[in-house]
Structures are given as C-alpha cells and as structure tokens.
Amino acid sequence: SQQGEEDPQALSIQEGENATMNCSYKTSINNLQWYRQNSGRGLVHLILIRSNEREKHSGRLRVTLDTSKKSSSLLITASRAADTASYFCATIAGGTSYGKLTFGQGTILTVHP
C-alpha cells in the first residue's frame, strides 16, 4: 500500500499565484523527496529533505517537514504555466528500507496563463 497521501488531488491556479501541496505519511522516514512529472514523461527530482531538517529551499520551491505530524508541504512561489505537471512526494522509510521509495498518489497542478 502507498505510504504517502497527497492533498489536494488537483489544484488549478493563475500564473503568478503560489501553489501549496501537502503530503502525509504513516511510518518513520529517513528522508522525503518531491518529484515532478510532466504529462507522458518520466519523473524529475525536485528536492530532498532529510528527517532531521525542517525546511529547505531551492529556487522558487520551499519544502517543509514536520516529523511529529508525519507531513510535508511543497510551496511553489510565483507559478508559471511551465509548472503545470503532476507532483509526487516520496519517502524512504527508516531502518532497512534503503533505496525503497514509496510514492504518494500525486497532485495535478494546472497553472493558467
């Protein structure tokens, strides 16, 4: 079964607005990663946050991690039409789950020009 659950399932915004996606998970983790998938393409890694980190930035992306609530959020600021894609969170569980990414179901983001 999939560990991550993402919210919302779909998000539609105007160019220039911010987009926030949330991810919840069930077990302890080593790290949490966010990926983007353009329609019909493979996944592209966006950002990785480790379990001992609380916030991380990369360009227009801001990721937060709250291990006490087992949740993470991805904020995309000043969105562009090119940000239209599906966004997935993925976790690597603690212990011996080395390399085993467990994906959420994803959020479909549509940015209107």
Partner 1 sequence: NAGVTQTPKFQVLKTGQSMTLQCAQDMNHNSMYWYRQDPGMGLRLIYYSASEGTTDKGEVPNGYNVSRLNKREFSLRLESAAPSQTSVYFCASSAPVRGRDNEQFFGPGTRLTVL
d(CA 18, CA 1): 31
Residues 51-70 that bind partner 1 (CB under 8 A): none
Q: Does 71 bind partner 1 (CB under 8 A)?
A: no
DSSP string, 56-90: EEETTEEEEEETTTTEEEEEE-S--GGG-EEEEEE
Q: Does 2 bind partner 1 (CB under 8 A)?
A: yes
Could you tell me which of 113, 28, 40, 13 has the C-alpha nearest to residue 69?
28
Q: Does 30 bind partner 1 (CB under 8 A)?
A: yes
Q: Does 41 bind partner 1 (CB under 8 A)?
A: yes
Which residue number, 41 or 54, has a Cβ lying nearer to partner 1? 41
Of 11-19, 56-64, 73-81, 97-105: span binding partner 1 (CB under 8 A): 97-105
